[in-house]
Structure 1
């Protein structure tokens, strides 16, 4: 039998840990009961039994509103006349923000997210999800002042960079918390809810810009920055009452607190002791597999494939063209739509995306993650290619029907993004990552995605600005081509994780089950490569 020190480097409560990991039959029976109950529960049953888990998971996802609202608002500023005049220069008959400054401002958030996401892994593991979330909220509240009072591009850029550091933390906290407080039947919906809050934040930003773009003074853009103070106000109220992640508490040896957290997250009909036993057993299995708990452990052989999949599914969001969302209104203007129609189209673009995300919840109840992701990516690639082909039509600017067709296809593309790879990416990277390195895996995937986003942020203004390449809809060829390449990787590397407990996934990755066999593979707990009874 392993010693207590081997099983728990975090020596918080030695007596409790010794009792919890004793190899008695009662613990084994409870863990198996909880696993069986989770796998057999239907979606509606899980909601009835875990209403608090649903509510608190959504609460932690509210931080994502700020992570999506801010960059989306900045992207809309480039199409607001007052902002163009105050911060830009005259080009022909209008004012524009130069491509380098567009790049710099749009890059503030992803650069900050690279650093913020990597940094978030440390306080999340040391202080927990709740305290990290609270600290981030207070820092965000203070940094909004920099953006609100900025009257030069350099000060605004500083505000975006500093704000991005904290916004990157929210992107890690929300999916990690959601995956750790909900049962298998709800895991898809609640981790996909992260994408809904992303789209909601973007939609609100577009709505604010559409409502203020006619103002001829600084309030045309200052109102948008000031609205960001609303989110912390609502979120801070609930902080004292939020339960900590039971998985984090259990890994710290704080089993009594973990059990109390489980009771708060579920109804009285759920056996919290059995659920805790399952958490302990899964954690023990990962210790036996030497899954580790550091960033370096994400690249060990046992975790390398899991880190690749988590990073790949998230980065493909950028490679397929999602960063065009930030430039949607500006893109529609450059395509030939006038101001009001461009802003209206930008709102419709995200509204349909919002509907797509909600639709994905019901789709995931019946269809596997792998199939949704791959089919969605294929459709998106085809739509992008069609947009590029339409842009090659002769007398393009004199044929408004083609402009409307391209704009409509962009809206359709966003719908398929938000019904497939948008929400499903969050589900997959939460499910494939080992529980002990989940926060680190999500943080690394977020940092890589943001790094790819930096590249796109540099490239897109030069590709679409009228004083640069002026590619317009020909961007469809670029993103469509990248999407087809990504589809090849996705087909061979993304496994099916629907309906699997974290313990099952641990065993399947340990046994190196081929990607296309994940869906039908039957886990034999008694003859797995690492029998937990040996610990």
Structure 2
């Protein structure tokens, strides 16, 4: 992204995705399918970096929270669409049962490529490359004709100059230098909390509901409702962003997750659990409420904070580092969760709530102490505040001279 720009990098990644789908679509053996999945997964990781970086750089400060939190909604919508496609092809007895879901991905590649030429390059990237006139043209495309983009351009240039003076740097090593270390820690922390608070349970929703004792059809219906509540939750986060700060929403939501997970664990300890269908339904409904709370707080607000705490010069690299750490934790959870919930292994069932509830409680303590309020702050103001070592609780009221 730093060599070729956000737009070109994104376009190439979409083309590569379309190409790798061919491997998955025509795979008739596990080794070929694995190769296609691995190559596709490598490119998929780039979208997790490009999307928040680009979103935070092409919108004005008042809209920054809404656009960056939209990323979480895209994840939820993708899961809903995937469930719908798989439900429609699961009864097929030919290779189309798995080939059709792969083929459906080409539709989205086509839609994106049609709209790609109309997307402007990031003005922040253009300023850093010395292309000030191109940056101004990009800003004019992003704003209405009545808006004077000169002040915004001047702010971008000044922020770039300030970060140069602060020696923020532009390499991966610079993410861990003293000037950026606190910002990198917060970025890694808020992204990793998505994993340790239990988000990977979403992929096992149907299986978990079956283990809880629900019939297969009811379990699948519940998993759809589970994701639908996530969609509503993300939309609700936009309402909250209008009235509350990022820190308040994130920490309050995380606290609710801790409480819900612990209650889910306690319900699993009820005597004769398997015979108490009221308890089973209560536990399943609490799982859906948990997903709603996650998707109005930790899910979308993570991306808002992730984009706002990182310095503009190393934003893409900070997000890449945070994504890598989150992915490593995700791999660990992908291995651990099946072991924890499978009846022939740990058979923890809903007691897994104690595991994730405990981790989320530890994360809440860290978040309360370390995650600052970044609402309505320009990137220049955030640079100054982090460089001055402003205390976490002072970010909301600190006056930048």
TM-score by length of 1: 0.73
Residue in structure 1 matched with residue 54 of structure 2 by the alignment: 177
Residue in structure 1 matched with residue 215 of structure 2 by the alignment: 338
Say which is worse superposed, 131-140 or 264-273, in terms of deviation.
Answer: 264-273
Deviations 1:503-533 (A, max 9, x none): 1000000100000010011111xxxxxxxxx
1:435 counterpart = 2:308: no
Map 1:128-139 onto structure 2 (within 5 A).
128-139=5-16
Any unmatched runs of 5+ in structure 1?
1-123, 525-535
Deviations 1:312-339 (A, max 9, x none): 0000000000011111122222222222
Deviation at residue 214 of structure 1 after TM alignment? 3.5
Q: 1:250 aligns with which of 127, 132, 137?
A: 127
CA contact (8 A) 1:206 1:343 kept: no
1:377 counterpart = 2:247: no
SS in 2 for 1:392: coil
Residue in structure 1 matched with residue 282 of structure 2 by the alignment: 405
SS in 2 for 1:442: helix
- Corresponding residue pairs, total: 401
CA RMSD of superposed structures (Å): 1.2
Gap change, CA 1:314 and 1:471, over 3 Å in 2: same
Residue in structure 1 matched with residue 84 of structure 2 by the alignment: 207
Deviations 1:41-92 (A, max 9, x none): xxxxxxxxxxxxxxxxxxxxxxxxxxxxxxxxxxxxxxxxxxxxxxxxxxxx
Residue in structure 2 matched with residue 189 of structure 1 by the alignment: 66
SS in 1 for 2:386: helix
CA contact (8 A) 1:310 1:433 kept: yes
Deviations 1:260-309 (A, max 9, x none): 10000001121122211111000000000000111011011110000000
Work out the CA distance in 2 between the residues paired with 1:158 and 1:467: 31
TM-score by length of 2: 0.97
Residue in structure 2 matched with residue 125 of structure 1 by the alignment: 2
Map 1:297-376 onto structure 2 (within 5 A).
297-376=174-253
SS in 2 for 1:127: coil
Work out the CA distance in 1 between the residues paired with 2:344 and 2:26: 29
Work out the CA distance in 2 between the residues paired with 1:514 and 1:168: 33
Q: 1:294 aligns with which of 165, 171, 186?
A: 171
Work out the CA distance in 2 between the residues paired with 1:335 and 1:147: 34
Deviations 1:182-218 (A, max 9, x none): 1110000000011110111011112222333334444
Work out the CA distance in 1 between the residues paired with 2:29 and 2:344: 22
Say which is worse superposed, 180-189 or 268-277, in terms of deviation.
Answer: 268-277
Residue in structure 1 matched with residue 389 of structure 2 by the alignment: 512
Deviations 1:311-366 (A, max 9, x none): 10000000000011111122222222222212111110010000000110110111
Residue in structure 2 matched with residue 26 of structure 1 by the alignment: none
Deviations 1:479-512 (A, max 9, x none): 0010000000000000000010011000000100
Deviation at residue 152 of structure 1 after TM alignment? 4.1
Work out the CA distance in 2 between the residues paired with 1:430 and 1:215: 43
CA contact (8 A) 1:508 1:523 kept: yes
Deviations 1:76-126 (A, max 9, x none): xxxxxxxxxxxxxxxxxxxxxxxxxxxxxxxxxxxxxxxxxxxxxxxx011
SS in 2 for 1:125: coil
CA contact (8 A) 1:134 1:239 kept: yes
Deviation at residue 145 of structure 1 after TM alignment? 2.2
